[in-house]
Amino acid sequence: KTSQRQVMTVQGSVEPDKLGLTLTHEHVLVDFIGADKVDRNRYDADEVFRVALPHVQRAKELGCRTLVECTPAYLGRDPALLRRLAEASGLHILTNTGYYGAGKGKYLPAHAHSESADQLAVRWLREWKDGIEGSSVRPGFIKIGVDAGKLSEVNRKLVQAAARTHLQSGLTIAAHTGDGTAAMEELKVLRDEGVHGSALIWVHAQSETDTALHARVAEQGAWVEFDGIGPQTVERHVELVKAMKSNGHLARVLLSHDAGWYHVGEPGG
């Protein structure tokens, strides 16, 4: 332990003021085949490295210094690949622990349904303390996913497990969140677990049309992430950011592209 705050990257811990311009939600590789079929043998890591590296290098040329890679376990998380890309590009890259419950559970391993929140937290904390899959790469945040609307039983359990992991590790929780209703429920679960709202990033907040909910979530200290920025969405994103500025919550806004990745199963990714 150190006396000052640290951010855990795939190459080790760094001081927060070394992160520079940070893209808070991106992906290098994703495999949507489902938790029961996902396997590293479905792709050639050397090919993915060759395909992805120019894009990562271009991001750095344009001023990016840190990339938060949000692909969770059972959706194609590959810490060894990310470390290779970080070493080759000079970018800080973060990976994660946690499970993705959105998509009606397609990307959840079977044990996520049967185990308790405490048992899941033990798994995630083991990665934080000992490294992912026997490697020295440790997660820099927790990634979960929940569908829109009221939380299902398994999604509620994922939020509880994330809260308990946060309390032991200090890791921030980035939650793919279907809508504002789900975001408000996540915050309530966190409160019940004794976790402050500032531990939560509401991922994909731009998909919620009621901007009052953005403000309500920010008022509880949570981060409101408008990702999916692209040529067709810039004007809407500007309006979302202006709305947050006008209500005094600009300091709780995060921005990113979530713009694309190597698609496992497609020729050349």
| Mean pLDDT in residue range 215-220 | 98
The residue to which tokens 């973060």 are assigned: 94
pLDDT the model gives residue 1: 47
pLDDT the model gives residue 4: 75
Helix (H, G, I), strand (E, B) or coil at 26: strand
Closest among 223, 230, 224, 222 to 258, alpha carbons compared: 230
Kindly report, residue by residue over 32-68, the tens digit of the pLDDT.
Answer: 999 999 999 999 999 999 999 999 999 999 999 999 9
pLDDT the model gives residue 35: 98
Kindly report, residue by residue over 72-90, the tens digit of the pLDDT.
Answer: 999 999 999 999 999 999 9
Q: Tell me the pLDDT band of 260, cut-offs 50, 70 and 90.
A: confident
Q: Tell me the pLDDT band of 2, cut-offs 50, 70 and 90.
A: very low
Kindly report, residue by residue over 240-259, the tens digit of the pLDDT.
Answer: 999 999 999 999 999 999 98
| Mean pLDDT in residue range 158-171 | 98
Gap between the Cα atoms of 6 and 18, Å rounded: 10
Q: Do residues 49 and 86 touch, judged by C-beta distance below 8 A? A: no
177 pLDDT above the threshold of 60: yes
Kindly report, residue by residue over 178-209, the tens digit of the pLDDT.
Answer: 999 999 999 999 999 999 999 999 999 999 99
229 pLDDT above the threshold of 60: yes
99 pLDDT above the threshold of 90: yes
pLDDT the model gives residue 3: 47
| Mean pLDDT in residue range 231-238 | 96
Q: Mean pLDDT in the chain?
A: 97
Compute CA distances 268 → 71, 92, 206, 263, whole Å. 19, 25, 30, 8
Alpha helices by DSSP H, listed for the chain, are 45-61, 79-89, 110-114, 117-130, 153-169, 180-192, 211-219, 234-246
Q: Tell me the pLDDT band of 21, cut-offs 50, 70 and 90.
A: very high
